[in-house]
Structure 1
């Protein structure tokens, strides 16, 4: 099969097209004939450092969409020919290839009316936002939430899901992305380049602060915005934990939630992997009903994936990039 491979740890420019043997599904796996695979920051981050469980050459790509082509031993909950999507195990060869072997427990069926490229934009970024907004922070109609990086993949989904829950949404974005982020559902957009985010949040909330923060930027950002929480508020850390010493103990009583979606494969059990399926099924349903915009900004060929990952590494991509493999 044709695949995009990494021969050793390195940047996106070290990826190359190669011919590999067809993968054979192991116990609990299915083989998927790949139609599309989403690009995510974790792809170039892992490529740079490699992973102790990889064998070489390795195939990247976590957000796999395609058709079930073969069933591994012990698989009973999947059917041949089904259109499926999955957030795959980063320890295993991924979806930047014509075929991929993936965990059957994590599969979600793609509903009619949702094409492969659209579905491939959902798993990593959409499920990360869903886990933060719905599962951890329980954002509702009486809440005010701050989302950082509102124009990005995770941030854009978090804005949409929070707005759909009825919350008042404050989001950070550059000025040229402000209209886009408002269109996703943000009530207020704060230009992090020209405005003090803490000062603006205090102004917009009358000094109270926010009930929740979804931080997609990093530990320093999470630490700074932890201080913006109202009493009993919560922060979901997507890109790194905040320093809890920034808040005096037994005052604000914040809750902090580390989001590590892929760890359902490496540190979870069958129940955790099945929950990946449940979350993705919900996102696919919302998309099919027109309630969620996956925001595919551009579709790439397999050969264009390295340049797409380089673009992602610049941290200014709006929405999602997806490789059409088939």
Structure 2
């Protein structure tokens, strides 16, 4: 038995609490309900959920909904919990603490129990708190995928938009580990924190002379690569700041591009989508989520990677509704984490 004092013969109830979205709603009104504890299929684990990390994508889908959901829908994608049931021969074993990024096409993880395919989880090592592990999946995996898509190597110059956000924080640290020169944008109050994470230069994204100041610092050559967490007009601006045939990883929907800009820069544009691993039914991609989870857990345990600060959220519809509104409003640098059970 690892990471927990949970006995192997755990009493599993028939009903559980869950936080559901009755219907997509601009105001984000969630409900606290009681539903059946799910049954796990052959390769699935039944997990008693301990912590759920909230992300901007949770808030966006609470407002707009998702085409594959039926309502009411349980929200939440990033979870940490303890395995309480697994079929014979299925690893991880009962009693193991696991972390994962859930299937967006299925029910979410803001519930006392949930199921997850065994090949998509990562075992949380002893010595790392479960709440800390809950900050890792979505933001950390998005950062790792982005760096792989733009093939960051030693000596590259990379711009990381939104350096004080969770994705930006992980991307800065991993880019520095790969030997890149890191430029980042952030609000002025967060410049010190972003520098402490390893950014070589930080710029205020509200500065009207942002592009001029970047060019003065960078020189005429342009960035080798960009991680664009902002989207919209910032995407076109970032392509303008790249060298010819530069590389950009986009975490937001692509804007309409000016064709002259495309001819002048000929950018290599990559789209980052964690959900695609599930929506494409790609077993290889789902297993890759587990592999990235292992990397993140190892980095957090060793101290090589600093995790975002945690803001605790109560396991109630009212508190989570407010927290998701806060995700959209922005202006904070940490991760909101819901404690489901202890």
Whether TM exceeds 0.5 here: the answer is: yes
Q: Which segment is superposed worse, 213-222 or 47-56? A: 47-56
TM-score (norm 2): 0.89
Note the 1:1-326 alignment, pairs <5 A. Answer: 1-11=16-26, 13-71=28-86, 76-133=90-147, 135-242=148-255, 243=257, 245-249=259-263, 252-303=265-316, 304-326=319-341
Give, in angstroms, the shift of residue 13 of structure 1: 4.1
**TM-superposed deviation, 1:318:** 0.8
Deviations 1:1-28 (A, max 9, x none): 1111111112464112111111112343
Aligned-residue offset at 1:240: 2.2
Distance 1:316 1:202 in 2: 26
Structure 1 stretches of at least 4 aligned residues deviating more than 4 Å after TM superposition: none
Query: Retained in 1: the 8 A contact 2:239–2:265?
Result: no
Judge conservation of contact 2:132–2:307 (CA < 8 Å) in 1: yes
Q: Secondary structure at the match of 2:337?
A: strand
| Structure 1 residue 300: Cα displacement | 1.4
Between 1:314-323 and 1:24-33, the stretch displaced more is 24-33
- On the 8 A contact 1:68/1:79 being kept in 2, the answer is yes
Alpha carbon RMSD of aligned pairs, Å? 1.8
Going from structure 1 to structure 2, the CA distance change for 1:26 and 1:220 (only over 3 Å counts) comes to: farther
After alignment, is 271-280 or 199-208 more displaced?
199-208
Aligned length: 323
Q: Output one character per residue of 1:65-121: Cα deviation in whole Å (capped at 9) or x when no partner.
A: 10112236x973432221110100112111111111122221111111111111110
Cα distance in 2, alignment partners of residues 3 and 215 from structure 1: 34
Partner Cα distance (2:41, 2:279) in 1: 16
Instruction: Could you tell me which runs of 5 or more consecutive residues in structure 1 were left unpaired when the two chains were aligned.
Output: none
TM-score normalised to the size of structure 1? 0.94
Gaps in structure 2 of 5+ consecutive residues: 1-15
* Cα drift, residue 246 of structure 1: 4.8
